[in-house]
Amino acid sequence: MTPAAASKAAPAAVAIAAGATGAEAAGGAPAATRARGLAGHRFAPVALVVTGGLSVQFGSALAVLLMPRAGALGVVTLRLVLAAAVLMIVCRPRVRGYGRADWGTIVAFGAAMAGMNILFYQAADRIPLGAAVTLEVLGPLILSVVASRRLMNLLWAGLALGGVVLLSGGGFDRLDPVGAAFALAAGAMWATYIVFSARTGRRFPQADGLALAMVLAAVLSLPLGIAEAGDKLLVPSTIGLGLAVALMSSVLPYTLELLALRRLPAPTFAILMSLEPAIAATAGFLVLSQALSVTDALAIALVIAASMGAVRTQVRATAGDARTTNP
């Protein structure tokens, strides 16, 4: 999310598994108190997610410009190492007082973050940014369909598949099959990232858990970056650009998403994240001159519609189940 990203666009089953709902945030407060709180902050978490999406995708576009200097793995290492340094300085998280389950969450979150970034940047190095994010969305979408076991979600899966066929032009050779495979693998890591981001937000105060997980992600990526880029990682101008990528693609969006998941219903978060392919395509066009054909734009729109539809279907089904269980 993307690295995601954030990508980074997990539909209902994955987002609901993340669990950060408005009701949970409200705890046992009376209904009137919850209503006043929601009215006062209705748009704040939405703004956090949208701002994070813009930041991460334009940061990804900048990262693509940096790849000729340091390679895809080198850029990932710069991004994660510098982001970890910034977060540790700003947050100064405490490391005592946590249990085994807390640290297990950090390990899973950090590993998902590292995997998501490494796989996505490998994809972005081979195929256009908008296409990479669109394919990345399919991982969480497929999880949603499989987990829900509802017939309606097969329609959304078919719609997404139609978008992918259009995007590939009938064959992934137009996109580079290796790049497409990396993007799909990044999608699976994106779903995992969303789940453990929410769990981390509930277990650790402020952005402490994010800072600790970012350190682990940086450590995991460091050997790969050194092997690919070597001393190119130490060039001052490269470090400066890497810091910009780290702030735009990691520090700002990950912090905003973690804060948003504490106050925003998870299905709403998933719908907003479904806009990421459109944001990525726009960033690719403005920063990288990656023009979209009408067919590509339609393909991206189909995948976004499928993601939103899957979320809404699962939300309605969950609400119906709740009414049946608690008449």
Q: Is the pLDDT of residue 224 over 80?
A: yes
Q: Is the pLDDT of residue 95 over 70?
A: yes
Work out the pLDDT band at 321, boundaries 50, 70, 90: low
Residue 6 lies in a domain: no
Name the more confident of 24 and 54: 54
Q: DSSP secondary structure string, 274-286? A: TTHHHHHHHHHHH
Residue 174 lies in a domain: yes
Q: Is the pLDDT of residue 190 over 50?
A: yes
Q: How far apart are CA 279 and CA 307, in angstroms?
A: 15
Name the more confident of 245 and 325: 245
Q: How far apart are CA 173 and CA 189, in angstroms?
A: 24
Nearest residue to 1 (alpha-carbon basis) of 207, 227, 191: 191
Work out the pLDDT band at 150, boundaries 50, 70, 90: low
The least confident of 97-101, 158-162, 315-319 is 315-319
Residue 25 lies in a domain: yes
Q: Tell the residue number behind the tokens 């998941």, with chain if given.
A: 261
Name the more confident of 90 and 34: 90
pLDDT in tens, 251-267: 888 778 777 877 766 66
Q: How far apart are CA 246 and CA 55, in angstroms?
A: 10
Average of pLDDT values for 66-90? 93
Q: Is the pLDDT of residue 102 over 80?
A: yes
Q: Is the pLDDT of residue 234 over 50?
A: yes
Look at the chain and report how many structural domains it folds into. Answer: 1
Q: How far apart are CA 220 and CA 143, in angstroms?
A: 26
The least confident of 33-37, 57-61, 130-134, 192-196 is 33-37
pLDDT in tens, 18-45: 333 333 333 334 433 443 444 345 567 7
Name the more confident of 129 and 262: 129
For 92: left if phi > 0, alpha if psi spans -120 to 50, otherwise beta; the answer is: left
What's the whole-model pTM score?
0.72
The answer to whether the Cα torsion of 226, 229, 235, 241 is positive or negative is: negative
The domain in which residue 107 lies consists of: 12-325
Average pLDDT over all residues of the chain: 77
Name the more confident of 295 and 89: 89
Work out the pLDDT band at 173, boundaries 50, 70, 90: low
Contact 190, 116 (CB under 8 A): yes
Q: How far apart are CA 254 and CA 252, in angstroms?
A: 6
Residue 83 lies in a domain: yes
pLDDT for 241 equals 93
Residue 176 lies in a domain: yes
Residue 1 lies in a domain: no
Residue 77 lies in a domain: yes
